[in-house]
Amino acid sequence: MAEAPLVFLSAEAERLEPRLPPSSATSTSSEERTLPWVTLTFATSLDSALSLGPGIRTALSGPQSKAMTHYLRSRHDAICVGVGTAIADDPGLNCRLAASSQGPTVSPDAGSLPGSASAITTHQPRPIVIDPMLRWEFTSQSKVMQLAGAGKGLAPYIITAVAEPPGSRKKLLEEVGGKYIVLDQPNAKEPTAGAGYRRFDWRAILAAVRNEGMQSIMIEGGGEVINSLLSAESAELVDSVIITIAPTWLGPGSVFVSPPLRPTGPPDQTSLIPGPTSASKQTEAASAVTPDGKRRPNVPDSLVEGRPVQASEGQQPDGKHGVEAGDPSGR
């Protein structure tokens, strides 16, 4: 049974507009940028967790935030995830936005759309998968590959440090319009303690994306990707941060996201400047997520949106730092 379509109204889109990349039709500076516009967006619990544990898919987003995610995808040239997300979630990484008389509508498939919204948007973001050591063993049955083959999405570009990708997977990828982008080994950092793979410098990744003609990229996760972008050395590359907060705690053992602590120096950690229309919201008492990681219906999310700054820049008039949360379903 197909899910009911989700609605994302124009009033919601208007609030997000200051945090989104400028339209290519109206922007005069897009060609001057050497790196693409970067929007970092993800959903967390109240304790800043992405999932119940590594590799465990956890449904944190509610209907409104799901609709918002697809609207955001419609406004970017590319959508990026790390290899862990590609392996754990088998994501589609496409945009299912459709026009209707009630406003933009999101639906899992065209068959469940109302009569006034029968056509899926023609714009699709290019999936970008960061896979330095080629851990993602995709097949023709992987969701993103099926959608690309059916014309409902684009095939992924895979950024890797492996100079000679496996021939069979390279052929499969190229048959649906995807390809590997090989970055030189000097652009990859050695594994950190506990990490079994290399990490690329974000400037090298973003430069490669820009060289492919993409002027904006929406980065969705997972944990390693988000935490690396929130680090002091990479936060300046992010133009906008949009976070959905589910009214639940996931607890110990979860995958958490947070800027790393500075071992020395003043407390000028990366923070956010809140959006001008952000409003405080009373957190719902009911948990949004069941113990097995499924989303409970009818429990609204909160939304935090802003841009990454050093805390001294984002200081509030009362001397405090941080952001306020707004309810995307009640504005």
Token reading at 185: 């080994």
Q: Name 17's Cβ contacts closer than 8 Å, sequence gap at least 6.
A: none
Token reading at 256: 């958490």
Confidence of residue 23 (pLDDT cuts 50, 70, 90): confident
Tens of pLDDT, residue by residue over 97-126, are: 764 434 444 444 444 344 434 444 468 999
How far is the C-alpha of 162 from the C-alpha of 177, rounded, in Å? 20
Note whether 189 and 199 are within 8 A (CB). yes
CATH number of the 6-22+31-310 domain: 3.40.430.10
pLDDT, greater one: 152 or 173: 173
Please state the domain extents for the chain: 6-22+31-310
Per DSSP, the three-state class of 104 is: coil
Place of tokens 């990484």: 93
Place of tokens 């544990």: 53
Note whether 184 and 12 are within 8 A (CB). no
Note whether 60 and 243 are within 8 A (CB). no
Identify which of 254, 272, 287 has the alpha carbon closest to the alpha carbon of residue 326.
Answer: 272
pLDDT computed for residue 65 by the predictor: 84
The mean predicted confidence, pLDDT, of the chain is 74
Q: Is the pLDDT assigned to residue 193 strictly greater than 60?
A: no
Confidence of residue 33 (pLDDT cuts 50, 70, 90): confident
How far is the C-alpha of 257 from the C-alpha of 246, rounded, in Å? 14
Tens of pLDDT, residue by residue over 197-249, are: 567 899 999 999 999 999 999 999 899 999 999 888 898 999 999 999 888 88
Tens of pLDDT, residue by residue over 59-98, are: 887 778 888 998 999 899 999 999 999 999 999 999 887 6
Q: Is 171 exposed, middle or buried (0-12, 13-18, 19+ CB in 10 A)?
A: exposed
